[in-house]
Amino acid sequence: NAGVTQTPKFQVLKTGQSMTLQCAQDMNHNSMYWYRQDPGMGLRLIYYSASEGTTDKGEVPNGYNVSRLNKREFSLRLESAAPSQTSVYFCASGRTYSNQPQHFGDGTRLSIL
């Protein structure tokens, strides 16, 4: 019963490098989300996808791109990493109704030097 799986769990990058964070869910959910979590800031939505083939910006989309590859997978790409993007990144999935919970992956801890 995997739920939401994120890879990698940890990553260190140098400024300017690119990287893709992977997320997959096996709960047949329509909606998927990417959040970043910084100390004292809570969870902030980067991008979300309400269904396969659609994506939309969240609160803090600058510097990121996403791809909803299929219903199961939603990836987050940093094209040119910056130290300000050092954070813990969480992927979540859920049904596209406000009366349904979101299920979170274990997170990716990303450091950019």
Partner 1 sequence: QQPVQSPQAVILREGEDAVINCSSSKALYSVHWYRQKHGEAPVFLMILLKGGEQKGHEKISASFNEKKQQSSLYLTASQLSYSGTYFCGTDGGATNKLIFGTGTLLAVQP
| Nearer CB in complex with partner 1: 11/17 | 11
Decide if residue 51 touches partner 1 (CB under 8 A).
no
Phi, psi for residue 84 in degrees, rounded to 5: -65, -15
Shortest spacing between CB 42 and partner 1, in angstroms = 4
As measured in angstroms, the least distance from the Cβ of 16 to partner 1 is 29
Cα–Cα distance measured from residue 48 to residue 3, given in angstroms and rounded to the nearest whole number: 18
Q: Tell which one of 66, 107, 108, 112 touches partner 1 (CB under 8 A).
A: 107
Please state the closest distance from residue 100 (CB atom) to partner 1, in A: 6
Does the protein bind partner 1 through residue 28 (CB under 8 A)?
A: no
Burial of 25 (0-12, 13-18, 19+ CB in 10 A): buried
Residue 74 interacts with partner 1 (CB under 8 A): yes or no: no
CA pair distance 60, 75, nearest whole angstrom? 16
Enter the DSSP assignment of 112: E
